[in-house]
Structure 1
């Protein structure tokens, strides 16, 4: 399958807006290799006297993102619907979610079968299936379990991110050596200028790195060489910055009255 050419692996001579370095620190991914995508304006980077630190946002390989953040996105998408299906199934058996919370799935199903609270086998099978989905999404499961049950929903999540319909994320189709990468547009970190200069030459992660100096580097990945690996190409860096800015420039206002259109029409009659 053809993927968009969004990333330039040859652009490693200098740090600019859109530059990406490896082994960036990102909360929640302390044992994983995350990339850092620089978002500081080019003019600020060029003017050494203007800023002491650059800003970067985490660009997380999908193979890591799916194990940490996917479950929360999936819950928001499907939990309400599954909850309703379970609630309706239990209601047919004259039970509620409270019974489920108290006694658990196995005992509830056993009681329904023994007391024949549901007459049709297909209703019992449907409830069992929905309960399995309910607890999988509620308690969390690994990707292989989730994809078996929620393949369509997970594909929809990826599609929404790739098409810019999820304001929290931006998808880079492919970075060589990392595959598809999910950029978190709401999580901003600092990269001090001195560390940035050293990244250009490469920094080997070892036990001697000073925690107070190299804060932007994930020091748990011992033996890794931190360096620039390339940059997000135009027009994708401009698109990413537009979506990033939208997260912080939106202004919340009171919703108009639901009957506003009726009121405006009445004024004209």
Structure 2
């Protein structure tokens, strides 16, 4: 432990003190909630329930980065200890998410935009778009967009521009494509490209914060209790479900270190960024229910065949309205 950091025991006492104060405030009906109608409140002493947020969670593609867990097991199951495990979803900072999953979403959109521009250039040249399916972008550029003889005047200028555009698109597609196929974590690679995709980064973040981005849920804050806090917010990874053994839950309610639990339970938590795993917040209603709705919709969608377009014409054609 580096100089100036709290020991595990000191941190435990600090956390317990914060939780006791939050519990007293909640009973008095005073300032347990950060603000009226806030998404987040301080944790309750001695309980883990649906919507509880704790630090020290596992997030598969974020080694060495802080992660929190949002409990999703039903309230009655956590209260009455009806299940052998408690499930949670990992949450990471927006900054880390943008250098991982969020960044890849932005880069993928950029890739599709550039590829579409390249297709348009092929069409302009009266070439088949399917060339991109069988040849590399740079091969297409070199074989079909040669640099012209300058003596051709205005025509040469146009052809030179097309040749330069084709090679620019090809190089861009190569850079973006290499990043997309590189396994996570790839913070350095993604981070170096994102500044060149600012429009798509902004679009992805806009969808995230408005809860329209499938697979992810935005939390603007985790309150004031947690360490390693982000001023930009957090992202819950809805597709990545983890669990904690039931025997570990009572320890987690008051705070736990890696030395306090067995090796099996340690796999459910991560102590590389937090020496101490403990509840830091509770997600409030209706946000808990909203998160659960998005989680269920993600795995509960049922696809059916589209209606025949001719059916619309059949219904509206020759309609006669009578008394």
TM-score category, normalised to shorter length: 0.7 to 0.9
Q: C-alpha deviations, 1:139-197, integer Å up to 9, x for none?
A: 22745433322111111111111112122111001235432111112221111222121
Unmatched 5+ stretches in structure 1? none
> Where does residue 231 of structure 1 map in the other structure?
282
2:201 to 132, 151, 154: 154
> Where does residue 30 of structure 1 map in the other structure?
63
> Where does residue 174 of structure 1 map in the other structure?
221
CA contact (8 A) 1:164 1:170 kept: yes
> Where does residue 210 of structure 1 map in the other structure?
262
CA distance in 2, matches of 1:216, 1:199: 11
Assess, with a 3 A threshold, how the Cα gap between structure 1 residues 163 and 245 changes in structure 2: closer, same or farther.
same
> Where does residue 64 of structure 1 map in the other structure?
96
1:112 aligns with 2:146: yes
CA distance in 1, matches of 2:165, 2:197: 16
CA contact (8 A) 1:6 1:232 kept: yes
| Residue aligned with 1:261, SS | helix
After TM superposition, the structure 1 = structure 2 runs for residues 121-132 of structure 1, keeping only pairs within 5 Å, are 121-132=160-171
| Residue aligned with 1:226, SS | coil
> Where does residue 7 of structure 2 map in the other structure?
none
TM-superposed CA distance for 1:261, in Å, is 0.5
CA distance in 2, matches of 1:134, 1:183: 30
CA distance in 2, matches of 1:223, 1:154: 29
CA contact (8 A) 1:205 1:223 kept: no
Unmatched 5+ stretches in structure 2? 1-36, 180-187
| Residue aligned with 1:190, SS | strand
1:87 to 116, 119, 123: 119
2:300 to 235, 249, 257: 249
TM-superposed CA distance for 1:93, in Å, is 9.5
RMSD of aligned alpha carbons: 3.3
Higher RCO structure, 1 or 2 (CA under 8 Å, sep 6+):
1
CA distance in 1, matches of 2:38, 2:242: 26
TM-superposed CA distance for 1:250, in Å, is 2.3
CA contact (8 A) 2:59 2:91 kept: no
Assess, with a 3 A threshold, how the Cα gap between structure 1 residues 52 and 10 changes in structure 2: closer, same or farther.
closer
TM-score normalised by L of structure 2:
0.69
| Residue aligned with 1:186, SS | coil
TM-score normalised by L of structure 1:
0.81
Assess, with a 3 A threshold, how the Cα gap between structure 1 residues 209 and 132 changes in structure 2: closer, same or farther.
farther
CA distance in 1, matches of 2:273, 2:59: 16
Greater share of residues in strand: 1
How many pairs are equivalent? 261
CA distance in 1, matches of 2:94, 2:274: 23
CA distance in 2, matches of 1:153, 1:11: 40
After TM superposition, the structure 1 = structure 2 runs for residues 38-53 of structure 1, keeping only pairs within 5 Å, are 38-48=71-81, 50-53=82-85
